[in-house]
């Protein structure tokens, strides 16, 4: 039976592990997917808070909204920095 690869995509060679270097476009795509998921959950929590008027849901939605804003800011910074770095 052949050896299984680790989940992170690394190739193993004896005792050493060689990690695959991700492409920046892949990193941006993954970050964009994470931002979209967080935004979707945030909208669902906002809707639930409006329907149920629960402060706990509102607190969670507020914390998630701050997280979404931070993720979006990082995404935008990377999106602008990568082309600039490629031109340099």
Per-residue pLDDT of the chain (88 residues; tens, 9 = 90+): 455 555 555 555 556 667 676 778 888 888 888 888 888 888 887 777 766 766 666 677 778 888 888 888 888 888 888 877 777 7
Which domain does 70 fall in, by range?
22-87
Q: Does residue 5 belong to any structural domain of this protein?
A: no
CA distance 13 to 52: 55
Q: Does residue 17 belong to any structural domain of this protein?
A: no
Question: 67 is written with which tokens?
Answer: 């997280």
Supply the pTM of this predicted model: 0.55
Pairing of strands 11-13, 16-18: antiparallel
The SS3 assignment for 15 reads: coil
How many domains does the chain contain in total? 1
Q: Does residue 65 belong to any structural domain of this protein?
A: yes
Q: Does residue 55 belong to any structural domain of this protein?
A: yes
Q: Does residue 80 belong to any structural domain of this protein?
A: yes
């Amino acid at each position: 039976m052949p050896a299984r690869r680790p989940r992170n995509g690394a190739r193993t060679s004896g005792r050493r592990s060689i990690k695959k270097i991700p492409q920046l476009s892949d990193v941006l795509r993954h970050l964009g997917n994470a931002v979209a998921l967080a935004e979707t959950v945030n909208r669902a929590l906002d809707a639930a808070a409006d329907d149920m008027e629960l402060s706990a849901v509102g607190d969670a939605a507020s914390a998630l909204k701050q997280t979404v804003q931070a993720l979006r800011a990082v995404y935008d910074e990377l999106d602008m920095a990568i082309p600039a770095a490629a031109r340099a």
